[in-house]
A and B are shown apart, each in its own frame.
Chain A
């Protein structure tokens, strides 16, 4: 069995707890962690010509920012526990991208934090954890 765990990290408290929980499991089973930050993006959105011309630059900036402000602090604390870790940033639909990434890396399971939002809120805004549970090819651990 593959010994890679995928952790969804978005900078929220829930995702930090998910990373901590996944680190404990990884220590116990000598697994490697892949921390993934998904920048919500759709190829079917509409933009001005100006935005299109700047898109490549903005994309690089977004990736850079996600790495420096969100992923690095988390991956440092994972490393401190002696766990092998890799941080990736992807653009796309959050749960679909996580599923693709899990398949791509052959992850054994996915860890994700939850927001604890109300029913109305998740109806309106959707829930990444909720749709991930429904679509993931591997077990998903939702960390409260």
Chain B
């Protein structure tokens, strides 16, 4: 029976994509005006001193700054405790076998570490100059506070389903949190709005974009032999995704989830090697970052322009304020929501402060040594060129890493989208299978057709959902603060026991 369904789905997908390949022009022309309109609203830019500041980025940054101060710089104060929690120092041995803090963190990190860490940083440095790196790090630092608040709330307001599984995330804390404060209608509206946004975002940024990037990567390594074969690559990827999310073949996912952290470490090690091979220019590259951050030389909008680009890329990469990680963290069974929030503040640290900064240094040192190293290459190709200058064979493993990052991001986002779907249509199994089939179809679409405008719409929606999310965070922040104070007091008094170390 399963095999028949599989065959049917595959035929359906093949015919659908064969047609789609022909009609992508039509779709593009039809959706382009909508995309332009949505983009204009979501990424509405206000001109400030010659730079253009998208309102939504301002919204995210102001939120991050506020939460950093409101929580009393818990992103610094809580850092040591976050590591103790991940290490399992406070894990009760009786709970062995439940999801550990480490597992929740690793899963959330594989969802955020992706193409953006390799390619997005190159874009930031190209557009915003070396100074953008400084603001990227600052944004990562502030984003830690936003993550802390949203992940704490995700656990606090999650739903426990009758079958013992859990569903959580912004849609739940928006609905329940606002209801507690007597604004039931608003909460319902914001929750539904968020669920629809994350569902569409999952199909776009978490699916089509990833599948497209994976195909481009593979085609680059294969020297262009896959030109026009996007549908085939897409079908293979969709097949693997299908096996994981519909077929329940966890071993594939487990292999990827094991390889991704390894790849991330591998990437960082080689990046450090390249940086040290460029040792002579390290001081110059670092100096460029600081002077660039303050003067913004050669950047449209000067220092402020560099700041905007840096912040924007950081948010694209670590998703703080978007609320997606809160969905993944809700799965942890803990009596203390604060512990999950504390652990999650390591995410922007790993994603943005460590990995993005290393990429920026690879590009920065290479550029300092040889300003024309990349030629016309941009994005991920630029990062690849920087590596290639020192290690000639590195573009191949880099491409493989890119494909794996894309795959693991797809798996994570398929879950975020599923939770959005389940919030809208209920936790019914058949409905969820329909969603998963739609998700697989979009994997094929993503690498077959160049649906630029549709991607733009999805991109815009992902940023649009940070509006209700952060609004909710402002309203619910006092609850998080109370929880945090009570938790810290109980740690102090020894009521919360430490089981190892210390």
Contacts and interface: CB of A to CB of B under 8 A. Distances in A.
B97 A46 contact: no
A59 B332 CA distance: 13
Interface residues of A, number: 26
A43 B415 contact: no
A50 B253 CA distance: 10
B97 A48 contact: no
A51 B331 CA distance: 9
B111 A49 contact: yes
Interface in A31-54: 39, 41, 43-54
A60 B327 CA distance: 22
A48 B331 CA distance: 11
Contacts of A53: 165-167, 330-331, 415
Contact of A52 (B91, B107, B254): B107
B104 interface: yes
B111 A57 contact: no
Contacts of A46: 103, 106-107, 110, 254, 257-258, 260-261
A100 interface: yes
Contact of B97 (A47, A54, A91, A100): A91
Contacts of A100: 93
Given A43-B88, A49-B415, A52-B104, A59 B331 contact: no
A10 interface: no
Contacts of B103: 43-47, 52
Contacts of A105: none
B412 A48 contact: yes
Contacts of B412: 48-49
Nearest to A45: B103
B99 A41 contact: no
A21 to B, nearest CB: 28
Contacts of B443: none
B312 interface: no
A11 interface: no
Interface string A91-102: 110000100100
B401 to A, nearest CB: 16
A59 B411 CA distance: 22
Nearest to B158: A53
B271 interface: no
Nearest to B245: A50
Contacts of B167: 53
Given A45-B103, A56-B333, A57-B163, A51 B250 contact: yes
A71 to B, nearest CB: 16
A20 interface: no
Contacts of B97: 39, 41, 59, 62-63, 90-92
A30 interface: no
B100 interface: yes
B244 A59 contact: no
Contacts of A41: 96-97
A143 B367 CA distance: 66
Interface in B158-200: 163-167
A55 interface: yes
Contacts, number: 96
Nearest to B111: A49
B102 A43 contact: yes
B96 A91 contact: yes
A116 B99 CA distance: 34
B370 to A, nearest CB: 38
Contacts of A44: 100, 102-103
A43 B106 CA distance: 11
A48 B99 contact: no
A55 B333 CA distance: 9
Contacts of A90: 96-97
A44 to B, nearest CB: 5
Given A46-B110, A46-B254, A47-B254, A52 B164 contact: no
Contacts of B98: 55-56, 59
Nearest to A50: B415
Interface string A56-90: 11011011000000000000000000000000001
Given A43-B88, A46-B107, A57 B165 contact: yes
B333 to A, nearest CB: 5
A57 B98 CA distance: 9
Interface in B433-472: none
A56 B254 contact: no
Contacts of B331: 49, 52-53, 55
A56 B166 contact: yes
B328 interface: yes
Interface in B67-105: 88, 91, 93, 96-104
Interface string B254-286: 100110110000000000000000000000000
A59 B96 CA distance: 9
23 contacts: A39-B97, A43-B91, A43-B103, A44-B103, A46-B106, A46-B107, A46-B110, A47-B99, A47-B103, A47-B106, A47-B107, A48-B253, A48-B412, A49-B328, A49-B411, A49-B415, A50-B418, A51-B250, A52-B328, A52-B331, A52-B332, A53-B166, A55-B99
Per CB-CB distance, the 10 closest pairs between chain A and chain B, nearest first, are: A91-B97, A43-B100, A57-B164, A52-B331, A46-B257, A49-B415, A91-B96, A48-B253, A59-B97, A53-B331
Given A47-B257, A49-B416, A57-B164, 13 more contacts: A39-B97, A43-B101, A46-B110, A47-B107, A48-B244, A48-B250, A50-B418, A52-B103, A52-B331, A55-B99, A55-B333, A56-B165, A60-B164
Interface of A: 39, 41, 43-57, 59-60, 62-63, 90-92, 97, 100
